[in-house]
Structure 1
């Protein structure tokens, strides 16, 4: 019985494609950037300084890629929890803005606002409070970015900002 012969032309084309780099990778590779990025999420909980109840959560997320400050970004997310909703203390705004950038250093300012409003309805509102946090990122001796979070400040008596690792 005769053995089937391989198609020499197909074998030659596949070999040439592999040599010049057009072969399909067998495993999916992550982008080169992913290997050099550091991701940090800092969680803050505004609440009562007296009873320690928390009104919601604010997340400040950093993506620090490489040693170039142009590749360092920050974003926020926030929500009011059931306690805040029932007490009428709402997280109305949470945002972070870049304040400066120099060679190897980048700074941001987080600003968040809480309001005391009619419980569960969310309006009308009688009082507002502000939260600010400064952030500073610079490079280590090896060129990797290091995040330096500041201490949260609140412009209201009786309101605190708690951190959970």
Structure 2
């Protein structure tokens, strides 16, 4: 596991090789089966609730809570109205415009990338700073498989997602947390 910590323009972490290989493979192979949906160019992305208990325990259990509290230096708890979500998108998508999740009702967003990725696929997470009315790109995070991204949301936590190439399917696990 390799942890990269950033404090500018806001606090976020990128953890490469987050799970042991065997555990990651087990979750990866079970995740798509826990949600039944069809993706197409007419409906390029969906969220689904996860019913797989192994994934829920790993992504929303006590071990993750303790890990996030230690990582951020602040005690956290899972957002009371949130359970782990499986987000699947299939290209081509326009990506997600620059925004901050500061007013979304949770303090920390956690994303585990589940799909093998190469640069030609697109879909990078872009970290932005804002000066007056202008945005400046500060970092681009590649959505590599088994990479965990932890973002501490604030009024400065501007981010976007680059467009994804046509036909590329991406799967991400998402959990939401609050400071206690």
TM-score by length of 2: 0.23
Larger Cα-atom Rg? 1
Q: Which has the higher contact order (CA 8 A, sep 6+)?
A: 2
TM-score by length of 1: 0.25
